[in-house]
Amino acid sequence: MFKNKSIRFFNELSIKDVPEVGGKNASLGEMYCNLTKHGIKIPNGYATTSTAYREFLEVSGLKKRIQDILKGLDTHNVNDLMKRGAEIRKIIIATEFPKEFSDEIISAYRKLSAESKVKNLDVAVRSSATAEDLPDASFAGQQETYLNVSGEKDLLLAVKKCIASLFTNRAISYRVDKKFDHFSIALSVGVQKMVRSDLGSSGVMFTIDTESGFRNTVLINSIFGLGENIVQGHVNPDEFYVFKPTGAIISKSYSRKDIKMIYDLKGKVPVKNVKIPEADQTKPSLNDKQVLQLAKWGMKIEEHYKKPMDIEFALDGRNNELYIIQARPETVESRKDLQVIERYKIEKKGKIVIKGQSVGNRIGAGQTNRIMNIKEISKFKPGQVLVTDMTDPDWEPIMKIASAIITDKGGRTCHAAIISRELGIPCVVGTKNASNVIKSGKIVTVSCAEGEEGYVYEGRIPYKVETTNIKDLKKPKTKIMLNIGEPDLAFVNSFIPNDGVGLARLEFIINNYIKIHPLALINYNKLKDLELKKKIDELTVGYKDKSQYFIDRLAQGMGIIAAAYYPKDVIFRLSDFKTNEYASLIGGKEYEPIESNPMIGFRGASRYYSPQFLPAFKLELEAIKRVRLGMGLKNLKVMIPFCRTIEEGKKVQEIMAANGLKRGLDGLEIYVMAEIPSNIILAEKFCQIFDGFSIGSNDLTQLTLGIDRDAGGSLKVEGVSNEKNEAVKILITNLIKTAKKFRRKVGICGQGPSDFPDFAEFLVEQGIDSISLNPDTVISTTMAILKREKTLRRSKGFLSLFF
């Protein structure tokens, strides 16, 4: 006989009820009671209790039978694990619920149906283990969910299947590894009104960046139809980043979504996958308004729980309303020690076998084992690289012993990505055809340490791991800024001690994210080369106005970088491609002259006001304006490169002002690169029209000494071809003095301080305001600068005794 109430509705629950209804159901109750009043929509439902679960096992005799089956289990013996797990699930399904328990489940279901004025309401039936979703034990889908369950008989079966799923192979294995007693954990089953996302869309939202742990962003992944296809990796989702401080979308990308999961209203199964018409596959699964509403809700939920959250949502296609259907604490990135910086670095690159989306930032190597069916997982050996189509929770016993994982399908929030992140294993997802390209028995290196793209290299490539504790690293008086080009690495590099970004290179974004010459996009309709148009079409899917593709991609790349370091200054250098570099972009040869020495040719400021390039420059300005005004990232500053004369500086600024970027308006600062001797000879005049200087020591050395930076090795001699040459140092000293006289900021963004610590010390001696470094040299150079500043303070103190 059941002694206690076995059902609790959401309005009777709070987060304190985790021991009774598990993490998922307690969280739903907490939100239902506290956050619906803030406009957050949560479908109603109820949960069975852990007490009811335990009484069911005791009354039926199941507990003793399960204990007997589990005696002597070795979880590393996959065949034995599978056999015992199957036997336990079979006996649970075959055992009837006590009448009191089944009556309460059905009574609550009838009440929920009556609320919706439906006889047999369609519901989602979800498992919620009492240790699930706790900060130290993310079970990541260990138990089952059943969607579109309708009718009392099917409901009772689904509840029983959820209870049985506490003893799936992966759940048993997981508990053994986490040292949980199998019966210290109980199962609650949540029964929640279904949202008709099969007619709309659904997805997951994190209030923290899942790759870097950056906390100022909300990451949203969405697809058409029911959300199971995201977790299962069947569909690569659309991806959106919303910046919390300004509440603006800073990045969005739309994937090709070829299938969606819907209700199977006529068939024998509750849900099925159907093909999406090709014309609709690249359409956004959420519009901007919906993305912003979700982000606002996500931030409100995070504020309530006081921790980063992992949230599931659904968009009902009937009423076009959004709903939160689950929320739990994020359990991987939010628990990292931010005082310890760990960097994996490939020491040399090899032949790329395949590439996809990187998960995490680690590197792993080993022998490949291509496994395409769950029945074959017993063949997997510790330390091997798993190659498969996609994973689900049944694969976890072998995922935890893999050195790396490679999948054909999936995005950053699919099952393979979630588990590999938790386990700290490098994982490359969404490769499309790795399982066809990579056979078993090959040695490969899997690198997720090179940005958004993950690479699988042939053979065992040497790499190193650098670990630095920055807890006691002091901050020098000289500002230490970063040189950044890749938006992919902006969030992770933001944890390096810094004072902002001294050089963000637009050409990196154009080359890696846009790939097409801006004039080819502007003149797309006039292009006669059909092969060229085909290449452009492949990259600009969904864009009728090809110029808009350039603006969007550039603005998003800039937005990610500006957001990563907000509210610190981020100085973007306008595009500084040379003619040969612009020509290498898709369509570039049509618009670029051939120069014998592009290093001192048609580049920098002279491009921006030239009639042939001006339309392309206006696209850059539109992207910058969108970041500063549309995204609210006014920490973005602009820097003009290779500005030969005062007249050029004035011309470029006039064009900028005419396009909504006037110096001083909304706090806009405009800097000039000091990389031509004329910039320093006429420094007093440049001070009149610019807010500051950034020394480009590479070009300054080239033009001072008459050395072509692209030249061969004959001129690469110490003391001639680098910044430490006396003539270059005199020019730098003079510029710093002039800048200080006119109260203009002066920094350096050239390669010199990153390559030569003694050159950085020289700059400190001259009183430079900031030094911008490559991220991997920041710690060592900061320590050298601290030491030099200390010496200078002592010498000044000593001299003050005599003067």
> Which of 459, 441, 397, 383 shows the shortest CA–CA distance to 142?
397
Q: What is the mean pLDDT of residues 444-452?
A: 90
The per-residue pLDDT for 110 is 97
Cβ–Cβ < 8 Å for 17, 166:
no
Residue 107 has pLDDT above 90, yes or no: yes
DSSP 271: E
- Give 714's pLDDT tier (boundaries 50, 70, 90): very low
Hey, which residues are catalytic here? 415, 749
- Listed in sequence order, the residues at least 6 apart from 688 whose beta carbon sits closer than 8 Å to its beta carbon are none
End-to-end CA distance of the chain: 95
Which one has a higher pLDDT value, 458 or 415?
458
The per-residue pLDDT for 69 is 93
**pLDDT tens sequence across 291-312:** 999 999 999 999 999 999 999 9
pLDDT above 70 covers what percent of the chain?
95
**pLDDT tens sequence across 390-399:** 887 778 778 8
The per-residue pLDDT for 711 is 57
> Could you give the angle at which helices 78-94 and 62-70 cross, rounded to 10 degrees?
170
Residue 3 has pLDDT above 70, yes or no: no
The per-residue pLDDT for 327 is 93
Which one has a higher pLDDT value, 51 or 184?
51
Tell me the pLDDT of the chain averaged across its residues. Answer: 90
Residue 369 has pLDDT above 90, yes or no: yes
The per-residue pLDDT for 665 is 95
The per-residue pLDDT for 420 is 87
- Listed in sequence order, the residues at least 6 apart from 100 whose beta carbon sits closer than 8 Å to its beta carbon are 1, 2, 6
The per-residue pLDDT for 720 is 57
Residue 469 has pLDDT above 50, yes or no: yes
pLDDT above 90 covers what percent of the chain?
68
The per-residue pLDDT for 796 is 62
Which residues are bridge partners to 354 per DSSP? 456
Cβ–Cβ < 8 Å for 487, 561:
yes
Residue 799 has pLDDT above 60, yes or no: no
The per-residue pLDDT for 608 is 98
> Could you give the angle at which helices 50-60 and 99-115 cross, rounded to 10 degrees?
150
Q: What is the mean pLDDT of residues 725-748?
A: 96
In the numeric block, which tokens belong to residue 571? Answer: 């100085």
The per-residue pLDDT for 372 is 93
- Give 772's pLDDT tier (boundaries 50, 70, 90): very high
In the numeric block, which tokens belong to residue 459? Answer: 């053979």
Give the Å distances, CA to CA, from 397 to 9, 278, 330, 721: 35, 37, 22, 56
- Give 171's pLDDT tier (boundaries 50, 70, 90): confident
Q: φ, ψ for residue 246 (rounded to 5)?
A: -110, -10
Q: φ, ψ for residue 303 (rounded to 5)?
A: -60, -40
Cβ–Cβ < 8 Å for 262, 242:
no
**pLDDT tens sequence across 626-669:** 999 999 999 999 999 999 999 999 999 999 999 999 999 999 99
pTM of structure:
0.86
The per-residue pLDDT for 415 is 83
Cβ–Cβ < 8 Å for 347, 464:
yes
In the numeric block, which tokens belong to residue 234? Answer: 């069947």
**pLDDT tens sequence across 573-626:** 999 999 999 999 999 999 999 998 898 999 999 999 999 999 999 999 999 999
Residue 225 has pLDDT above 60, yes or no: yes
- Give 429's pLDDT tier (boundaries 50, 70, 90): very high
- What is the Rg, in whole angstroms, of the alpha carbon atoms belonging to the chain? 30
Give the Å distances, CA to CA, from 685 to 464, 592, 667, 668, 733: 48, 32, 22, 20, 17
The per-residue pLDDT for 134 is 46
Instruction: Please tell me which of 112-121, 561-570, 746-755 the model is most confident about, judged by mean pLDDT.
Output: 561-570
DSSP 626: I
Which residues are bridge partners to 453 per DSSP? 357
Q: What is the mean pLDDT of residues 678-688?
A: 98
Q: What is the mean pLDDT of residues 131-145?
A: 54
Q: What is the mean pLDDT of residues 18-32?
A: 93
Which one has a higher pLDDT value, 720 or 759?
759
